[in-house]
Amino acid sequence: MAYKKLKMGMIGGGPGSFIGAIHRIAANMDGEIELVAGVFSSDPEKSRSAGESLFLDPNRVYGSYDEMFEKENQLSEEERMDFVSIVTPNHVHFDPSMKALEHGYHLVLDKPMTLTLEEARILYDKIKSSGKHFCLTHTYTGYPMIKQARQMVADGILGNIRKVYVEYPQGWLTEMLESEDNKQASWRTDPKKSGKSGCMGDIGTHAFNLAEYITGLKLSKLCADINTKVEGRLLDDDGNVLLKFDNGASGTLIATQIATGAENNLNIRIYGDKAGLEWKQEDNNTLIIRHHNQPDQIYRAGSPYLSHNAQANTRTPAGHPEGYLEAFANLYRNFARTIQAQRQGKQPDEAWLDIPGATDGLRGMAFVHHVIESGKSDQKWTEFTV
Amino acid sequence: MAYKKLKMGMIGGGPGSFIGAIHRIAANMDGEIELVAGVFSSDPEKSRSAGESLFLDPNRVYGSYDEMFEKENQLSEEERMDFVSIVTPNHVHFDPSMKALEHGYHLVLDKPMTLTLEEARILYDKIKSSGKHFCLTHTYTGYPMIKQARQMVADGILGNIRKVYVEYPQGWLTEMLESEDNKQASWRTDPKKSGKSGCMGDIGTHAFNLAEYITGLKLSKLCADINTKVEGRLLDDDGNVLLKFDNGASGTLIATQIATGAENNLNIRIYGDKAGLEWKQEDNNTLIIRHHNQPDQIYRAGSPYLSHNAQANTRTPAGHPEGYLEAFANLYRNFARTIQAQRQGKQPDEAWLDIPGATDGLRGMAFVHHVIESGKSDQKWTEFTV
Amino acid sequence: MAYKKLKMGMIGGGPGSFIGAIHRIAANMDGEIELVAGVFSSDPEKSRSAGESLFLDPNRVYGSYDEMFEKENQLSEEERMDFVSIVTPNHVHFDPSMKALEHGYHLVLDKPMTLTLEEARILYDKIKSSGKHFCLTHTYTGYPMIKQARQMVADGILGNIRKVYVEYPQGWLTEMLESEDNKQASWRTDPKKSGKSGCMGDIGTHAFNLAEYITGLKLSKLCADINTKVEGRLLDDDGNVLLKFDNGASGTLIATQIATGAENNLNIRIYGDKAGLEWKQEDNNTLIIRHHNQPDQIYRAGSPYLSHNAQANTRTPAGHPEGYLEAFANLYRNFARTIQAQRQGKQPDEAWLDIPGATDGLRGMAFVHHVIESGKSDQKWTEFTV
Amino acid sequence: MAYKKLKMGMIGGGPGSFIGAIHRIAANMDGEIELVAGVFSSDPEKSRSAGESLFLDPNRVYGSYDEMFEKENQLSEEERMDFVSIVTPNHVHFDPSMKALEHGYHLVLDKPMTLTLEEARILYDKIKSSGKHFCLTHTYTGYPMIKQARQMVADGILGNIRKVYVEYPQGWLTEMLESEDNKQASWRTDPKKSGKSGCMGDIGTHAFNLAEYITGLKLSKLCADINTKVEGRLLDDDGNVLLKFDNGASGTLIATQIATGAENNLNIRIYGDKAGLEWKQEDNNTLIIRHHNQPDQIYRAGSPYLSHNAQANTRTPAGHPEGYLEAFANLYRNFARTIQAQRQGKQPDEAWLDIPGATDGLRGMAFVHHVIESGKSDQKWTEFTV
């Protein structure tokens, strides 16, 4: 019997959305997932029009996610969607996620997990009890050289980790963009839609997640300087954080959206007592390994000497640059292949299982909580708990 | 009435193929094209198995392209494929291309156009007389910063073009890979499958096409040093070429597959009497503009200051790297949108019309012919004619 | 009447010294300074031997600086040294500096100024009251692109400064080098010779000085995480510091000597509300200016469009790399030319006057003091006072 | 008995000279050479004034080199100059060089060796028969990473050399600068002063010399396209050359002075059957070694893992950039140390003996001759003979 593509329903991602289109490209790229249903806007007319432009069956373009869950559940198992992808602003993460799981769907959810830490705890438990597959789209862990970096740390190439410097500078909010009818800027700087943090929730969480992912360490305490640099803005747009990890490593986390002229310059440097590594998202196919008194090495995506996990997350040989969309697609492909393998009674490749999940989501919300609290505190160190 | 995705049939791209999988990703990425049929191998069983892994309807996975054309033409216009994509080695370009056009299909064809210049002339005429849309996948002209470069030259930012340096160094054939059962190496170094040139046909044509595309100039004469550096190899794996363009500009074209350690380092530098530009495929999102006695400038893909054509060929904001697969997808998307616009009676965006076509294909084959002839000649300059 | 080269006497810089040889090259390079006397080691025989290898008159190679001051002062004004350069470890900065000034010599002193903040205050007053010229060799402010950066900030190109990220990662102390008879490592990690800080005094002060120099801002408070990562080491070898400047700008300062594989990667990034700038010491001839929604610019040393101060601190046209030694030589040349101008009754060029001096030295020692105190404190912010 | 600094007399390098000042810095830097005499201009008053600004004894600033040789030879051996440095335009190379040797002086001569190939042959013989030390200042072979590159090729790390790409693009002559009273442009574009070539003599010779130096190969034939791109210019300002070496390696040499916006971008890439190497003068402290299916390596100047010859030509540890002036100074220092060693009856270090000499000079002039002749020829290949 022939297997079918995995069927996806989408919540959010209509006109003006940035991340919705990204999710669709990521899902489409490898030809293993098919978008079959969706509610793309809280405005039914906009949702319908978006669905048409996506070549969807009009009967499966819905006016609300409640309607979507109800109608899709009436379809045959063969026909109805296999999983749901939620790409709405943060305040519309919790409710549809809970309902998707309750209706029996696997779930892909954009980060951060929820609006509040409390919601995250509830959703975490729900995911764990549901038995459904869950992916939180911390895109950057989908890059092959990040897989390679994590493997090299795990293999002890760097020795005992002493220092972690992670940065996420952007410049797009250097002006008061939210007063100019910019949809992306508006919700991200609105506490009702974004939560208790702007910059730290939007991009700081990516940096935090990346640092823990590569090193395998857990943050144990932090000391934050949180700022709103653009006058009139309602949430933080900048922050510097001192970090301490559970093995004693120290570091810094920088996230800012007012570094004028910066694009999307997530980068990380990790130093152990044997070697160091450096990676920049804007040059994502390169991983530099630094050695003491020996020539540094340039590891390149698509090369035959990379780890299985790194190779499993590339599509092209070295020198054919893959990028952000492919990293994103890796999350979708790994998620889909795991479900397909399960369907077929096969063991999924371990590379497919390596996607960000509920724990990442919960820790990310704890990071948002603590970093903002630390920013308000006169005390140097704040314990990181979940 | 809702419009449908454009339906694609594929010839080639089965097990061991590199470029077939690339074409499929490129076609899938934007969700505007659907693979509905194909003949993936000259071995019917391999073809069937490939089709299954691609989630295709087994009835539309064929054993030969003759069968595919015959059977698809029996389907309703609504159901049958809209265009054919040919991703086979060079010796299987001409015949299926002619037949695709004869059966009324638009055509996407991997480069170089054909096995011989004679075939190219015939196919060129066929394309012109067929009225069908045709795309020759010179991938690298699909990069947004190449669109930007071309626009800046056309706008006179560089002034009168004096120098063109284009290079395409690879290192993967530095060893006698064709003796090791490597499918990619085998056909590319086999005159029966690849034609009269190895390296110059495989990658030299890309470099040649890129130079003419950006500058808008036409090559008028050349002087080539063509080499086979790996003993026992049947075709050239290396060459250096002096160039003269129709405006008097001079330059060099380097293509090699034995530059040990080089990946896929296509790059171009163009200097006019007002400014210069530099672009490297491995850092494709950056275009450097050099000025006389003024600071150089870094143009970046995804930026709001770019030309319409550059912006129309990106999906993400600056700092979210797009790469080779997106450049390839641009060709497919532009091709598909033009056909969709035509169906809908709309004027296609001029950015969609800017894809490599029959003239590029014919000139590319003329380049292969002349560069190999010049390599054998004691005379310095060989006229470039088509 | 012909003018003579400026005559220099040196204290320190004998066998095993790193910085002494650097100072001599810096002084020699432009042919305007002549080494005429010195005490190169506390061991008279080593001093004599060093002097011989430097082609010095044996009569002017001394066994102690007290002897040097006494004997040189007995020479005619025409003959005796014009200024003293002190290149000893930190614990031998204060006493010879005081004496040099007392004996009427202009003074070049390696950083940090002294062993303790208290000494620095006394020396500061002495310099001010002596009327002698003084240069503290914060080398990195001698780079032409740092001059350019400072000018562009002063000219308002960056707008109001919001963020300052300054880093100084090295890796050479990643192992317990001081237990291996390494003279450089030994004194730098010895509190008696280095003072209350290792890393922060050795390189953190450079980073601090650079940030204040370029921005023209003053640090107002800081929050430090100070670490000794190599077991058994007596002083800090690593630290992360949160910064607040007097205009409200925030930032981070990183200095570490255990970033395995890092060389001497001092770098700074400054973002204002109009533009940003980035500079790396290891690529010192390049200054990147980042713009919001406009192409970034690459400013290059030796270019005709640079500020007077930048041009006055280069010797070669763009593309002929100058580096660390030239930056160091700029301090010496500017120092020497100012003194020569004074002799000749001329007004020195304003570029020559721009060298680090007593205030830089005092603030640097205050930085060392506060950063170490903050490192011990549970309170988040420590006021920066002098 | 104490040894003295080596005493230098200079011919040329007065007001408006570029390279004279460079030579003096190079000679001064290490404190082992002293400028004691000179004739800095054919105008005695300009010569005198230049000498004064260089703090020279007015009695040893001469009005002509004939006078200099005569007067200096009247001084005691202890007092008179030890060697002569000639930094005049090409047409004033031959005569003073011959006379310097005849008067018994060692000789440093700026490149290219002479105005014509005939002169070069005579001077070559003179040098050989004189027994004097001779250095032709092909600066770029003075870089430590070039020493490292040469060593790695000699050690077989790259295997059999197959390809050599050497480039020297500049942009400073992109406009008709010689009509604007620019001294540097004027003589370099004047056949009477520069010889039969402009660009190829000025910078092409550097590229040629570098390629032969690193590879240890000898050019056996070439095919040149030589251009004058700026209307009205009297000599070539641009050229592209195909190369064949004596081991069968092929390559290209590009030299141009009209690459708008280019600075001084000499660079070389060499590929053998085992590995490749890449070096750029503008990033001179880095040497990239490329491997087949293994991570590339970054070799850095000042590192302890470098060859003896590379280490002997640096002054600072890794991360403290040295540059053009230090490379130039290496030639002077090695030249001077060899002479000092000889005086002291010691064996010079083999690193000091590795400076460009008479053979480099003669081959360089042969290159100029053949490349210009080939440019005029309709025949593809021109044999390279000396």
Q: What is the pLDDT of residues B356-384, one digit of tens each?
A: 999 999 999 999 999 999 999 999 999 99
Give residue C236's pLDDT band: very low, low, confident or very high (50, 70, 90). very high
Q: Clarify whether residues B267 and B151 are in a common domain.
A: yes
Is residue A328 included in any domain, yes or no? Answer: no
Q: Is D274 on the interface with B (CB under 8 A)?
A: yes
Which of A3, A264, A285 is nearest residue B319 as measured by Cβ atoms? A264
Q: Is D74 on the interface with A (CB under 8 A)?
A: no
Which residues in B lie closer than 8 A to residue A5 (C-beta atoms)? 55
pLDDT per residue over D331-365, tens digit each?
Answer: 999 999 999 999 999 999 999 999 999 999 999 99
Is residue B107 included in any domain, yes or no? Answer: yes
Q: Is B274 on the interface with D (CB under 8 A)?
A: yes
Which residues in B lie closer than 8 A to residue A55 (C-beta atoms)? 2-5, 31-32
Name residues whose C-beta falls within 8 Å of residue B144's C-beta, 6 or more positions apart in sequence.
B285, B301, B302, B306, B310, B311, B313, B314, B322, B330
Which of C289, C294, C305 is nearest residue B293 as measured by Cβ atoms? C305
Pairing of strands B286-291, A33-39: unpaired
Q: Is A248 on the interface with B (CB under 8 A)?
A: no
Residue C347 has pLDDT above 80, yes or no: yes
The reported pLDDT for the residue numbered B340 is: 96
Q: Clarify whether residues A171 and A252 are in a common domain.
A: yes
Q: Clarify whether residues B129 and B147 are in a common domain.
A: no
pLDDT per residue over C294-325, tens digit each?
Answer: 999 999 999 999 999 999 999 999 999 999 99
Say how many Å lie between the first and final Cα of chain D, rounded: 45
Q: Is D52 on the interface with C (CB under 8 A)?
A: yes
Q: Clarify whether residues A86 and A223 are in a common domain.
A: no
The reported pLDDT for the residue numbered C1 is: 43
The ipTM assigned to this model is 0.97
Q: Tokens representing D22?
A: 């460079």
SS3 A139: helix
Nearest-neighbour CA in chain A from B75: distance (Å): 21
Q: Is D375 on the interface with B (CB under 8 A)?
A: no
Q: Clarify whether residues D301 and D161 are in a common domain.
A: yes
Nearest-neighbour CA in chain B from D306: distance (Å): 21
Residue A303 has pLDDT above 70, yes or no: yes
pLDDT per residue over C239-297, tens digit each?
Answer: 999 999 999 999 999 999 999 999 999 999 999 999 999 999 999 999 999 999 999 99
Q: Specify the CATH number for the domain of residue A201.
A: 3.30.360.10
For the entire predicted model, the pTM comes to: 0.97
Q: Clarify whether residues D274 and D176 are in a common domain.
A: yes
Give residue A1's pLDDT band: very low, low, confident or very high (50, 70, 90). very low
Q: Which chains touch D (3 or more CB pairs under 8 A)?
A: A, B, C
Is residue A329 included in any domain, yes or no? Answer: no
Residue A181 has pLDDT above 90, yes or no: no
Residue contacts between A and C (CB atoms, under 8 Å)? 135
pLDDT per residue over D252-293, tens digit each?
Answer: 999 999 999 999 999 999 999 999 999 999 999 999 999 999
Give residue A72's pLDDT band: very low, low, confident or very high (50, 70, 90). very high
Q: Clarify whether residues D298 and D343 are in a common domain.
A: no
Name the residue in chain D with its Cα closest to that of B290.
D261
Query: Would you call D295 and A304 a contact, using CB atoms and an 8 Å cutoff?
Result: no
Q: What percent of chain C has pLDDT over 90?
A: 96
The reported pLDDT for the residue numbered C16 is: 82
> In which element (H, E) is residue A268 found?
strand A267-272
The reported pLDDT for the residue numbered D37 is: 98
Nearest-neighbour CA in chain B from C381: distance (Å): 34
Is residue B161 included in any domain, yes or no? Answer: yes
The reported pLDDT for the residue numbered B31 is: 97
Is residue B15 included in any domain, yes or no? Answer: yes
Q: What is the distance between the alpha carbons of residues A261 and C250, in angstroms, rounded to a whole number?
A: 18
* Cβ proximity of C321 and D282 under 8 Å: yes
* Cβ proximity of B209 and B215 under 8 Å: no
Name residues whose C-beta falls within 8 Å of residue D248's C-beta, 6 or more positions apart in sequence.
none
Beta bridge partners of A37: A9
Q: Is D71 on the interface with B (CB under 8 A)?
A: no
| Rounded mean pLDDT, A257-282 | 98
* Cβ proximity of D86 and D96 under 8 Å: yes
Q: Clarify whether residues A316 and A185 are in a common domain.
A: yes
Q: Is A241 on the interface with D (CB under 8 A)?
A: no
Q: Clarify whether residues C128 and C169 are in a common domain.
A: no
Query: Would you call A165 and C254 a contact, using CB atoms and an 8 Å cutoff?
Result: yes
Query: Would you call A321 and B318 a contact, using CB atoms and an 8 Å cutoff?
Result: no
Query: Would you call A29 and B25 a contact, using CB atoms and an 8 Å cutoff?
Result: yes
Which residues in B lie closer than 8 A to residue D273 (C-beta atoms)? 174-175, 258, 260
Torsion of Cα atoms, D21 then D27 then D28 then D33, to 10°: -140
Q: Is B296 on the interface with D (CB under 8 A)?
A: yes
pLDDT tens digits for chain B (386 residues)? 457 999 999 999 998 888 999 999 999 999 999 999 999 999 999 999 999 999 999 999 999 999 999 999 999 999 999 999 999 999 999 999 999 999 999 999 999 999 999 999 999 999 999 999 999 999 999 999 999 999 999 999 999 999 999 999 999 999 999 988 888 899 999 999 999 999 999 999 999 999 999 999 999 999 999 999 999 999 999 999 999 999 999 999 999 999 999 999 999 999 999 999 999 999 999 999 999 999 999 999 999 999 999 999 999 999 999 999 999 999 999 999 999 999 999 999 999 999 999 999 999 999 999 999 999 999 999 999 99
Query: Would you call C319 and D31 a contact, using CB atoms and an 8 Å cutoff?
Result: no
- Mean pLDDT for chain C overall: 97
Q: Is D305 on the interface with A (CB under 8 A)?
A: yes
Q: What percent of chain A has pLDDT over 90?
A: 96
Is residue C194 included in any domain, yes or no? Answer: yes
Q: State which residues form the domain around A10.
A: 6-140+334-355
> Other C-beta atoms within 10 Å of C51: how many?
25
pLDDT per residue over D75-103, tens digit each?
Answer: 999 999 999 999 999 999 999 999 999 99
pLDDT per residue over A106-160, tens digit each?
Answer: 999 999 999 999 999 999 999 999 999 999 999 999 999 999 999 999 999 999 9
Pairing of strands B250-256, B161-169: parallel
pLDDT per residue over C23-33, tens digit each?
Answer: 999 999 999 99
Q: What percent of chain B has pLDDT over 70?
A: 99
Q: Is C280 on the interface with D (CB under 8 A)?
A: no
The reported pLDDT for the residue numbered D50 is: 96
Give residue C2's pLDDT band: very low, low, confident or very high (50, 70, 90). low
Is residue A327 included in any domain, yes or no? Answer: no
What does R_g of chain A's alpha carbons equal in angstroms?
Answer: 21
* Cβ proximity of A223 and A182 under 8 Å: no
Q: Clarify whether residues B270 and B176 are in a common domain.
A: yes
Q: Clarify whether residues A231 and A379 are in a common domain.
A: yes
Which residues in D lie closer than 8 A to residue C54 (C-beta atoms)? 31
The reported pLDDT for the residue numbered A2 is: 54
Q: Is C246 on the interface with D (CB under 8 A)?
A: no
* CA atoms B257, B259, B264, B269: torsion sign: negative
Query: Would you call C170 and D319 a contact, using CB atoms and an 8 Å cutoff?
Result: yes
Query: Would you call D276 and B292 a contact, using CB atoms and an 8 Å cutoff?
Result: no
Residue D140 has pLDDT above 80, yes or no: yes
Is residue D328 included in any domain, yes or no? Answer: no
> In which element (H, E) is residue B136 found?
strand B134-136
Beta bridge partners of A223: A242
The reported pLDDT for the residue numbered B92 is: 97
Q: Is A319 on the interface with B (CB under 8 A)?
A: yes
Torsion of Cα atoms, B49 then B50 then B55 then B58, to 10°: -50
Name residues whose C-beta falls within 8 Å of residue B287's C-beta, 6 or more positions apart in sequence.
B145, B148, B149, B277, B278, B279, B298, B299, B300
Determine the residue among A289, A290, A298, A311 to mutate to test chain D binding: the one whose Cβ has the most chain D Cβ atoms within 10 Å: A298
Q: Specify the CATH number for the domain of residue A55.
A: 3.40.50.720
* Cβ proximity of C338 and C348 under 8 Å: yes
Which residues in A lie closer than 8 A to residue D289 (C-beta atoms)? 295
- Diameter over CA atoms, chain B: 66
Query: Would you call B305 and C295 a contact, using CB atoms and an 8 Å cutoff?
Result: yes
Number of domains in chain B: 2
Q: What percent of chain C has pLDDT over 70?
A: 99
Residue D2 has pLDDT above 70, yes or no: no
Fill in the amino acid letter for A267.
N
Q: Is D250 on the interface with B (CB under 8 A)?
A: yes
The reported pLDDT for the residue numbered B71 is: 97
Say how many Å lie between the first and final Cα of chain C, rounded: 45
* Cβ proximity of B370 and B386 under 8 Å: no
Q: Is A76 on the interface with D (CB under 8 A)?
A: no
Nearest-neighbour CA in chain C from B210: distance (Å): 23
Q: Clarify whether residues D339 and D370 are in a common domain.
A: no
Residue from B200, B243, B248, B239 nearest B221 by CA: B243
> In which element (H, E) is residue B48 found?
helix B44-53
Q: Which chains touch A (3 or more CB pairs under 8 A)?
A: B, C, D
